[in-house]
Chains A and B, each alone.
Chain A
């Protein structure tokens, strides 16, 4: 008699979803650019100290979604939203929510490195100064801590007064990450942070993301599926403004439940 026994898988000690608390969550979130319904009923929960990757083909809404998480999307005048995006349990789109307060807690790193045309030091000290920190000793500490946190301190500690434009692209991007860390955010949004970088710089940023998740929650939009597979804990696959699948990254890249996800990650469309 044939017996088909599914082998018992050992329980992974790494993934313990229930012990993580949600830091950002969207519930029934919709977004329109004029008449175009760009995000449709998005329900996603991003956990503390995890890296959540958002993947999908061009125009699927992934960048729009990440820009909604710190309300940057509101800079587009024709944008309309409904539903909720909650940060620490509070809807960031509700009336009276201070966007400045939100962006202090939810920092962002962009696709192209965009340092200010200032010294390395002033790039990092910029945010803390805006928040009223004038004490040179405290600023020095923040600059060093932030640059260490972005794994670039050793490369720039002897030239803090030089213009940040003189650094390589990979270094500039890590300066931007350090600038983001200087205001002590809770969540870091990364919109294709390595797409303009060479492979070595890309790997450095990827290593950095892995280190940073010990202290921050990270949401990363990436076109590079191998990058999502390498560095994220969970992955959401977006298509035509919808979340097709959201699961553990290990599951998404081994046994996705939706054929469209499988086709996308296997490079069969997109």
Chain B
């Protein structure tokens, strides 16, 4: 096999991306667990985890830049590396949203929820499913799975709309306004994570097809 070294480096950088994906989604799950259980210590742990995620993204970028400089890939190989950088950026943002959810969890503190958070939980589970699916799709370069992810994003968007609408219509006392705001932000962060999964699905289409597609209009 010609370019064995390049193939090896390519696999390594893809493995790094998978590690970043896992860490980011793990952080998101932990932050939501902290939110559900009002677990401040766990929320603080999530905040601490973010620097690892950031460093991993930087390491991926550095590795890709070196590969571009030294191997000068073209066509699919080039797209593969560019897509790795873009996907790493998306997953790093997921890590940031995990931190944001953790911070809002700390702000909510031990106060009881003023409304049912079931719709937010439903959104969250769909979003995590999207993120886990996109990791699989990425490994397999599977555009069929990427399409399925786009379908889930529509559902997340619909849930986001109805949940925000519900939160805005709640008739609560002034002391609970802050929590409503925090819950709205958490909804927004979860919805944005689903958007990043969709972004990655679009990057995957670009990698495989060599053209830009919008999976969710």
Residues of A within 8 A of B (CB): 1-7, 9, 225-226, 229, 253-256, 262, 265-270
Instruction: Let me know if B174 is at the binding interface, CB within 8 A.
Output: no
Query: B216 contacts which chain A residues (CB < 8 A)?
Result: 2-3
A262 and B76 within 8 A (CB)? yes
Instruction: Say what secondary structure dominates the interface of chain A.
Output: loop
- Is B72 interfacial (CB-CB < 8 Å)? yes
CB–CB B75/A262 < 8 A: yes
Q: Are A268 and B75 in contact (CB under 8 A)?
A: no
Name the B residues within 8 Å of A253 (CB-CB).
74-75
Seen from chain B, the residues whose Cβ lies within 8 Å of a Cβ on chain A are: 1-3, 6, 72-79, 147, 150-151, 154, 205, 210-217
Given A266-B73, A267-B3, verify A6-B211 contact (CB < 8 Å).
Answer: yes
Known: A2-B151, A4-B147, A268-B2. A254 touches B210 (CB 8 A): yes
Task: Give the distance in Å from the alpha carbon of A253 to the alpha carbon of B75 in the complex.
Answer: 5
Could you tell me if A229 and B214 are in contact, using CB atoms closer than 8 angstroms? no
Q: How far is the CB of B92 from chain A (nearest CB, A)?
A: 24
Determine whether the beta carbon of A269 is less than 8 Å from that of B2. Answer: yes
Report B-chain residues with C-beta under 8 Å of the C-beta of A266: 3, 73-77
Q: List 21 A-B contacts (CB under 8 A).
A: A2-B150, A2-B151, A3-B215, A3-B217, A4-B213, A4-B215, A5-B213, A6-B213, A7-B212, A9-B212, A229-B74, A254-B79, A255-B210, A262-B76, A265-B75, A266-B3, A266-B73, A266-B74, A266-B76, A268-B1, A268-B2
Q: How far is the CB of A11 from chain B (nearest CB, A)?
A: 15
Given A4-B215, A5-B217, A268-B2, A226:B75 Cβ within 8 A: no
Residues of B within 8 A of A269 (CB): 2
Kindly provide the distance from the CB of B58 to the nearest chain A CB, expressed in whole angstroms.
Answer: 27
Q: Which residues in B have their C-beta under 8 angstroms from that of A7?
A: 211-214
Q: Is the CB of B6 within 8 A of A255?
A: no
CA A5 to CA B212, docked complex, whole Å:
8
